[in-house]
Chain A
Amino acid sequence: MTAAIRSRKLAQIFLGAAFGAALLAGPASAEKQGGSITVGLEADIPGFDPLKVGVFDTAAETAAAAIFDTLVYLDDKGQPQPKLALSWTHSDDYKTWTFKLRPGVKFQDGTPFNAEAVKANFDRQKDPANKCRCAFYIAYIRDVQASDELTVVYNLNDPQVNQPALMTIQSSNNVIQSPTAWKTKGEEYNRNPVGTGPYILKSWTAGDRMVLEKNPDYWDKGHPYLDRIVLKPLPDAQSRFASLQSGEADLVWDDEYDADNIQKAQKDPKLTVHTYTGSGAAVYAFNTKVAPFDDLRVRQALVMAIDRKKMSQAITNGLARPASNPYGDGSWVKCKDDGALPNDVEKAKALIRDYGKPVEFKMIVTPTPRGRNIGQVLQQFWKQVGANMEIEQVEQATIVPRAFMRQFQLIPWRIIDLADPDVQMYANFHTGSPVALANYSNPELDKLLEHARVTADPEKRTEDYCAVGRLINQEAIWFWTFQNTYYAISSSKLKGLPKIYSGVIDVSNVWME
């Protein structure tokens, strides 16, 4: 999609209210009612109460997409569309967003869905006494007010021009849960969730299967198509794929580190590989306050030494898609020139020679086969240009505090697939932010980030973000290796799977041919 078309699409977002009355697409003739599917997920789901589990992982989000609804959903063109909200408007400064809610919707336990319910969900997560880990992600929202039965007002601390799009992932922050249910069920609510969604949780055996059955009173008539969805954790990649081949599972989660099976499935006419390249990337931050990374030449040399194609080949059989900026193919930010440094071994060698001192440092990697692989490949690239990297394996749980305390020279991080770059770009690069990991401060960068967050025109914002990308690439304070690409493999009879936004496999509206 070209930038121009994309920006026109975005412009429509702000006319969202006008189109807001349009319902989800009605069933077309090809879509078949009835039947059931089994979905193989990567992990056990711990539960759905945000106060207990904090944030959902993608396995929980797959279930959440079926049990709950969000106010807004993202269509396959990346545009926010009405779901539990019918329309929305915003103030001129993008700090107040008003949502008109869909009337006549009830939670699966009969509780009416209204503005008070939306507010109760928000307040429960925001309340400092509840100490919800989920509160972090709504820190930018000051409060939510129910101005009448079907109107909610979001008051933001910081402007957010794409607020509706940011509320589309089926995360613990965005799905609307039944206040009656969590109040009456207490401790048990976590494993007995109640939403307004198309499927009702029928039974759940820990570690084994979660059975979801069609909600006969779903507000979107004609939906969903399937009578039943069975979600199973299948943690082993090989047997997960075997279950798909043998027909026990109709759809399985996968990732590019299981490249062999993905490539096998691409050749199999009985299987369909669903893939989506989102925004964001796997990224790494240099600590620019400590030697040798306080010197621009060293940082540039190391980035120039990386051959991403070769690296992709070595780690994922070539499936992983090289990234040259933090936005990625899935983002609406498209840059003609992102200023990425070329892969140039000779230039890199020269820069290191010019630096004059020996380049020795430690890089943190996760203690997983994947983390070690990446570390070893980078180690080889850097050795070629005369830099010695030592791999330091650190538990995921320890990487985060080390990042906060800046106890690292080079640390892995991730920019996740979100509908708007502002949240993460501002947090990662604005002076003074707790996760501005590079310890780098540049008034020009700050100015661009501040301008981008209060500008509505997508073209102007794109210009800002491309300038940000160029600046970071040239200063080499962070670098990006691969874009976020998400995979699911299904029987070719399974239809209607939407894009795998943020890695969430949403099966709430699929059917079997």
Chain B
Amino acid sequence: MLGFVARRLLYLIPVLVAVSLLTFLIASLLPGDLAYVILGDQATPEKVEALRHDMGLNQPIWWRYLSWLGHVLQGEFGRSFRTGQTVLQAVAERLPVSFELMILAEIIGLAIGVPFAIACAVRSGSAFDRFMTGSAFGMLSVPTFLSAILLIYLFAVELRWLPATGYVPFQEDAVGNLRFFVLPALTLAFAEWPGIMRVLRSDMIATLQEDYIAMAKAKGLKPSRILFVHALKPSSLTLVTITGINIGRLIGGAVIVETIFALPGIGRLLVGAIYTRDLIILQGVVLLVAAGFVIMNFIVDMLYAVLDPRIRHGHA
């Protein structure tokens, strides 16, 4: 097992290097030279040249990449030229928001998706199954900006049960904090549960046709025990994958949802950085998020091994 973990960790290094290179390239290739951005409406050619020189923008791109990477390896991600905040400060301020949103959205998504998946798998082909599969498909097709506005309209404007926008830190007001998170988490969960349901349902249908399930039935085990103990665990491999990927994706911030609900998370930080060409923040945050994503996938790989001993012992 230890060897397996070590091998997997080694794989992370080239991935992270590739990610850092891509991040840097994307940020550098964005239209709009940084010197022009900083100078704004006084970007006379002489001033631009002087600033480019000061900022090292005249150096070749590989040199700039290596010097940035060198700083990053020492934990120096740089400072925003607009706010003076360091990348780590900015991320530390925003991460708890995106993290909480992600956890709540996944919990709600799983709470809706898993029971429906099991119910559909048991009665596969029934009217209920067809109805649920159809609704899941429908829900998948609803973009988050639409469901967000509909939820705001219903719960904030009409019923006035929940706030439309805003945020309060958990340690300041726990109940208030959760109230602010209900609508955004629901919005995200609406997009998550259909995927969860569809994947788990089809895996489960396959599992239920396995010989050992027939065997368990023949032994006279209770149907609920067969379903939750014998069938659910082996059926959940794909589910773990997509949950892992979703979590990784949401660490990067649910950009649209955070913008609509005015949550001060990583997604808003990124959007702001893009609009204002705050490339230092942009590069740093994208790299950190990508690293988080890669590490999340690493954890998912580890979970596979726990769920299915064949992976642990094989040549994965």
Contact = CB atoms under 8 A, between A and B. Distances in A.
Contact of B165 (A44, A55, A232): A232
B48 A248 contact: no
A234 to B, nearest CB: 5
Contact of A54 (B40, B260, B268): B40
A49 interface: yes
A47 B90 CA distance: 14
A191 interface: yes
B279 to A, nearest CB: 11
A234 B180 CA distance: 14
A54 B278 CA distance: 14
A131 B55 CA distance: 13
Contact of B94 (A136, A206, A235): A206
Contacts of A513: none
B311 interface: no
B36 A242 contact: no
A236 B259 contact: yes
**Residue among B51, B84, B94, B163 having the largest count of chain A Cβ atoms under 10 Å:** B84
Interface string B272-315: 10001100000000000000000000000000000000000000
Contact of A205 (B36, B43, B93, B152): B93
A398 B32 contact: yes
Contact of A401 (B36, B84, B259): B36
B264 interface: yes
**Residue among A55, A136, A206, A207 having the largest count of chain B Cβ atoms under 10 Å:** A207
Given A239-B149, A246-B156, A395-B32, A404 B82 contact: no
**Residue among A209, A239, A243, A401 having the largest count of chain B Cβ atoms under 10 Å:** A239
A434 B163 CA distance: 49
Contacts of B37: 397
Interface in A202-230: 205-209
Contact of A243 (B39, B149, B164, B167): B164
Given A47-B84, A207-B269, A246-B157, A397 B31 contact: yes
A172 to B, nearest CB: 12
Contacts of A55: 40
Contact of B264 (A47, A205, A239, A240): A205
A309 interface: no
Interface string A35-57: 00000100110110100111100
B189 to A, nearest CB: 18
Contacts of B108: none
Interface in B51-100: 51, 80-85, 90, 93-94
Contact of A239 (B36, B40, B42, B261): B261
Interface in B6-48: 31-33, 36-45, 48
Nearest to A186: B84
Given A398-B32, A401-B48, A46 B276 contact: yes
Interface in A22-69: 40, 43-44, 46-47, 49, 52-55
A105 interface: no
| 4 closest Cβ pairs, A-B complex | A207-B264, A397-B32, A208-B264, A242-B164
Interface of B: 31-33, 36-45, 48, 51, 80-85, 90, 93-94, 148-149, 152-153, 156-157, 160, 163-167, 169, 259-265, 268-269, 271-272, 276-277
